[in-house]
Structure 1
């Protein structure tokens, strides 16, 4: 037979019936359900259903899935291709995954278990910038470390422990309410006590108010540390009076908030502060069960060039041991090494102890829960399932919107409208709060709660607080800074702007009663910064701009924003690139701008280009 004849000769008869049967999925004999994980490799699935990997890959290709033997596929795909071979799959869900939503509840419940014992309190330092938060942390750290060890503390793991009267206190070395709220945003309630630092010479400042709002939102007890009492201008009595004005009533005034006067610089009153922390901790009876699989929270995480993914874990319940298999958020691993806050290797970490761990596959996020599981297979399945779940939640995430609030009210999702107020001046802020209080009395069945109110620009911290508390941000004659705008876009927080108090109140009322359905929507086209000022012969003032994001548009309206406050709202008179008039200028380029009937431009002002568009009601 010629080569050509051989090529066209039929070959079906050269295969045995058994071979033909193996190559046809439909010919496989059906059998009972096979239990598999939520994610598996092609090779693992082939072994589970009893077919060759080659035949399974062919079946996947027929379904349009290109995969090799080591590639992972999800349960849905696996179930469909297994059905081609007459095999039914059942998804095996690890028991720990069912508990994922209640990890925080498990931690709280462990305090009531028979094996529960007292644990060290976890403390966060909060307060206004330059009031001495970091210096206070340094003073606490060095006051309670032996002289010979003080110079050796170079390990920064985001938390550390000090010993007082034979007992330990854990401090989160991330001063400020931003880090505190970032972890709360992921559902982790780490802090037991908040120490509010207020400078004796400066008093209550905007960030002091923010810190109080964040601590109250987390329902965390507050201890006030009045710092810098060594200064000749120190006035602790004035600080206590100012605290009372923002609702923080100290014990001296008949309240329940303890006060300790300290000097971080002179290291005065540090021991008194530590003793007060222990006293407050005793009042709250902090306990945990060390005799169970560990659950903790990721405080910090990073990639080290030499050691790979490194994470700081604060153990909340149970005892974390070397070689434990753990899941941390959407990643997993086996603990290869653990270090304490002084860089010493340790083999175990009990409740409230911070440790740095090595061995995770990837970097988790701050605020992720870490839990010990039985084996690597379970850990891998949980991590994969969480990753899939997070992607789905990110796609479906929906925060509170004022024009959708009434829908949630009707189906019983909420009975409280939470607001964050930012205004240009204190007088406007007080007027709005008083008006909202009267509106709250008028509305039946719904409460209006002002989570935080302050003057100044809408900050990233305000957006984070809104995201964690389900609040809506209302700005009166103020705008968000660049960081706040990005945070709001990422989280979907609803920010609304007003320049007439009546309009603000009417929109809040309409949102609660379900009548709010705006016909117009404001769209921000771009933001630019004034880099230079030019005086023109006709006495007009032109601004040299650098476009930060979006586009500068000739036919847009503009707002001039200075220190977060809107000082002018008008229209563009001219927009130029070099000497030519242009319709638009993209981000990253420079241009010249004049504004109709407005010449009070300064270097550093932000110019916001926007337009208003009509939308169907209900959108």
Structure 2
């Protein structure tokens, strides 16, 4: 056992109980639950934490955490840490709202860049982080995507932020993603400033926006509420100075502070594989100061900061709190949303990353498998459904999870979409081989990436289809169309007539004719009919001849008699045989009966 002179030790198992951590850092389980909820994790006091989550929370509360090991025993040492350089920090502001309501144009106007014109489809598709400098102070902006497929990225933005600027178009009003953005911010307990945009348009109605949002608890200050509303035109830079002034005023009232003297901690906003630098991530430093040559752990990856740049590509030696930075030197691509923790040594960083990896592997093994007969039967039935195997490659980690979730949520009756591999970076030869081995239908989907030369050549040789996209709408719609193309045709049958054989005629040079009475509906030449004897179908064929007395007819109705001949030379009619005439209709692929 470990012995400690001060602080507290927590033995490490598959997970760390919230109650145990609460005792170590002198917080109630409810306070820890609230902290986790702010980071998008809903847990209860009896649940367990991953080791990096526990370290993040402990350091947030001012404790120093180290990993101890002796033989096979492992533990966390949690000790109080003196705060010596607590200073005000810039606010982190997330811009949220419905698609095309002007979020990127607003940031473009604030930063004096032209990001919107560079984005495919003019819709932001990755979280961008930017720090702007104003006479009244600095502000860090996070820009979250507007498309509904990127709800997870918007939620992550809300969890990292101090203030949400909710952009609502004055001419369109409140939309579904507006409400979703409000819910994300309220769930994270983040104050909201409403920017009513596009007031330059003739049909603009800022009053209606206030009325609609008041139903969700965003009551304007002018109505004796607590929510700040600013009417703006991002396109014409109208009232932007007032909006920035309100952000700085609110942040001052919130008394945002951080300890610059401690080891840095933050969160990964975005990650990708850079062709020159390798695994790279955008990290928001939230506390402490990040320095060149610091060792760090980030999820299952670790490394040492060798290159650090700001959002404009300028090299940095240090990054204080509320600073977004681009970092390379990761051992592998981290995941967006992973905690970023500076560790005292490479040995401890490697040990902690290994521990996190083992915890996650253990959690994977504990995932439930089908246990009941019904669940097993469902798994068996899946095997009969045509499958579209997909290898998915994207440029940055932040896009990966939302695209995977969007593809998995596609409901195509009669077909199944299976993502056999997903990852970040260019399409490689191994991706092609994986798609080829999966099935003859295996395809590769690339989002903002391309295959390298060898992969492209191999794909032609293996006849693997590679499809490239830069706009999320196109990707989702095309995969849906491809999956629908796999659906085995289904048919709906409709009986249009019933009758009975009342006499059988043997006519020279013609053959055997069934004399029938049409009892229901009608008989139609060219339609299919089946002959049923004592409940058993003995023949199915096309009506090739219908005769009413001496006249050949194309159709004959209920209550009338007719002479009937079916295709395939059927002659074995008997009196009292039942005849059903029916039509079949192919159902739309992916449709319901």
TM-score by length of 1: 0.48
Query: Are 2:560 and 1:607 equivalent residues in the alignment?
Result: no
* 1:241 aligned counterpart, secondary structure: helix
The correspondence of residues 37-48 of structure 1 with structure 2, limited to 5 A, is none
Partner deviation per Cα, 1:99-140 (whole Å, 9 max, x = no partner)? 642404522548994532111111111111111011001011
- Per the alignment, residue 281 of structure 1 pairs with 251
Q: Give secondary structure in 2 for the equivalent of 1:326.
A: strand
180 and 117 in structure 1: CA distance in 2 versus 1, 3 angstrom threshold: farther
Alignment gaps of 5+ in structure 1: 1-37, 39-95, 145-155, 400-467, 469-480, 490-494, 496-522, 529-544, 558-573, 575-594, 611-619
Other structure's SS at 1:607 match: coil
Q: CA deviation at 1:369?
A: 0.9
Return the match for 1:350 from 320, 332, 350.
Answer: 320
Q: Does 1:217 align with 2:180?
A: no
- For residue 454 of structure 1, what is the aligned residue in structure 2? none
Whether 1:373 aligns to 2:356 is: no
Post-superposition shift, 1:298? 0.7
Tell me what 2:276 maps to. 306
Paired residues of 1:291 and 1:318 also in contact (CA < 8 A)? yes
SS of residue paired to 2:112: helix
Contact kept? 1:319, 1:349, Cα under 8 Å: yes
| Aligned pairs (5 A) from 1:357-396 | 357-396=327-366
- Tell me the residue number matched to 2:159: 189
Q: Using a 3 Å threshold, how does the CA distance of structure 1 residues 140 and 485 change in structure 2: closer, same or farther?
A: closer
CA distance in 1 between counterparts of 2:111 and 2:415 reads: 47
Q: Equivalent residue of 1:365, what SS?
A: coil
CA contact 2:195–2:230 (8 Å) conserved in 1: yes
Partner of 1:106: 59
Indicate if the aligned counterparts of 1:122 and 1:171 stay in contact, CA closer than 8 A.
yes
SS in 2 for 1:189: helix
Aligned to 1:337: 307
Change beyond 3 A, Cα 1:243–1:385: same
Answer yes or no: is 1:290 the counterpart of 2:273. Answer: no
What is the deviation of 1:550?
A: 7.2
TM-score scaled to structure 2, two decimals? 0.50
Paired residues of 1:303 and 1:310 also in contact (CA < 8 A): yes
Aligned partner of 2:216 among 246, 256, 272: 246
Which residue number corresponds to residue 507 of structure 1? none
2:415 counterpart residue number: 526
Distance 2:403 2:154 in 1: 23
Give the Cα–Cα distance (whole angstroms) in 2 for the partners of residues 186 and 196 of structure 1: 15
Distance in 2 between the 1:177 and 1:222 partners?
A: 20
Name the one with the larger helix percent. 1
Find out whether 1:548 has 2:484 as its counterpart.
yes
Contact 2:94–2:141 (CA under 8 A) maintained in structure 1: yes
> Using a 3 Å threshold, how does the CA distance of structure 1 residues 245 and 123 change in structure 2: closer, same or farther?
same
Listed as ranges, the gaps of 5+ residues in structure 2 are: 1-11, 13-48, 64-80, 115-125, 370-400, 418-480, 494-527, 529-581
Using the alignment, how far apart are the partners of 1:125 and 1:169 within structure 2?
12
